[in-house]
Structure 1
């Protein structure tokens, strides 16, 4: 077992091991370490994603939690990629995303085609999940609830410092009916202190990404498509992501201008929402 730089995924899987210990054994970390004949720091480091545990370590840990060989094989397959600088997951898997959001000190994001999930209304999220028929009907309520649950980090007393760059084209994408869009515009205006609008005539060479920064861990860049989620800690990729946000800081409206732009959308008569532009629903 060797100490390595943790990643968003290794911290996620470490947290999963912690929860297994708590729910399956009822033991504290020190008690489990004694039971396994380990130093207590070993359990702590594994559960915080700070070390790459050996396969023997994982076998011993999971066996102590009452798990069988099939569970071990599945976890081993996931764990072997945990410390990579590039990690790809199936789109829609929110566990690693939610953990990264909840532990970040700073969240900076750019979205080009939709409102960021952390500032969506529940009605907008519901309408968005219905687009294209990709999410089964029976899963939509749960997906909406999970998105709303993630927003709890913005209500914490120690909330992360957030900045959401939103392209104006995302404001013009009609997701749901007029009432849904009006409520969404009002929600953005309420959160205008963390929103900066990129004017619709500005071309940005990015489909969107997020940068999470942590107090004691390396930054993580994140992007998502319909097919996959990508978590990146490669230093060169982080530099490139910072360059994107530096560019957005130059071309986006400032805080007061963004507030005024959002107020325009909130105050428009309904018929004005039918001006030419993309319609998604």
Structure 2
């Protein structure tokens, strides 16, 4: 009896989409995994099987070979690009920790937090970086949007995000882009697992103006933190350093407006972009 093929859900992940499409094209030709490997000329049956079961990541060479074999115009190459990491190396640890966190504390003095950015706002930020390629921009935007999946479902972390009032006034594009971003921010302010608080100008708080930072907490214990910087951020796990950041964060929160007043402030600034 032939082995039953493992069901692949192409919506599960970019790697699953690649595996699904490779199997679909293979079966349409009536080929076994061994036959596909033979057609490729250099791959083994086990390698094809491991990619279809997602035990192995596909490579760029395979994507090009499949496009040639099935006479496709970059289809598998595009699918392969989607499987590549979309988060900058210096941020991978914190992005992974977010997925397992119970609580997240953030502070942003200059920009809307990445967890709440619209795609257009995020793209404008990345596009402004000197020397960046369009492909890198696409990758980083995808990565930023994927981070936001912790806001969906019922099992995500509680997020308390502090934002400097000046960040609300910092334009990242035209009025339409900013209106969309503020509409998103107002939507986030009503999220049951998000507390969004604005540190207003009148607080005269100078704490934390040098950099944004994020603290990830699991089961009541701070696990890891990230501090933004110009060239590359710094991820830290030392308890003493995280403890210092918690002191800064606590000072900032004491200067912040309550939740409802913060929402009113955001709605007030939004009028600027109409």
Q: Same fold (TM over 0.5)?
A: yes
Which secondary structure does the structure 1 equivalent of 2:233 belong to? strand
Equivalent in the alignment of 2:104: 107
Partner Cα separation in structure 2 for residue 210 and residue 179 of structure 1: 29
In structure 2, the gaps of 5 or more residues are 1-49, 57-86
Structure of higher RCO (CA pairs closer than 8 Å, 6+ residues apart) = 1
| Structure number with bigger Rg | 2
TM-score normalised to the size of structure 1? Answer: 0.61
Contact kept, 8 Å, 1:198 with 1:248, in 2: the verdict is yes
- Structure 1 alignment gaps of length 5 or more: 1-22, 29-64, 66-90, 271-281
Matches within 5 A, 1:1-281: 92-93=88-89, 94-193=91-190, 194-201=195-202, 202-206=204-208, 207-215=211-219, 218-268=222-272, 270=274
Q: Deviations over 1:255-276 (max 9, x none)?
A: 0100100111223364xxxxxx
SS of residue in 2 equivalent to 1:191: helix
Q: Give 3-state SS (helix, strand or coil) of 1:133's partner.
A: coil
* Aligned residue-pair number: 188
Q: What RMSD, in angstroms, separates the aligned Cα atoms of the two structures?
A: 2.7
User: TM-score, normalised to structure 2's length?
Assistant: 0.62
Match of 2:10 in 1: none
Query: For residues 192 and 218 of structure 1, do their structure 2 counterparts lie closer, same or farther at Cα, with a shift above 3 Å needed?
Result: closer
In 2: Cα distance, 1:229 partner to 1:240 partner = 17
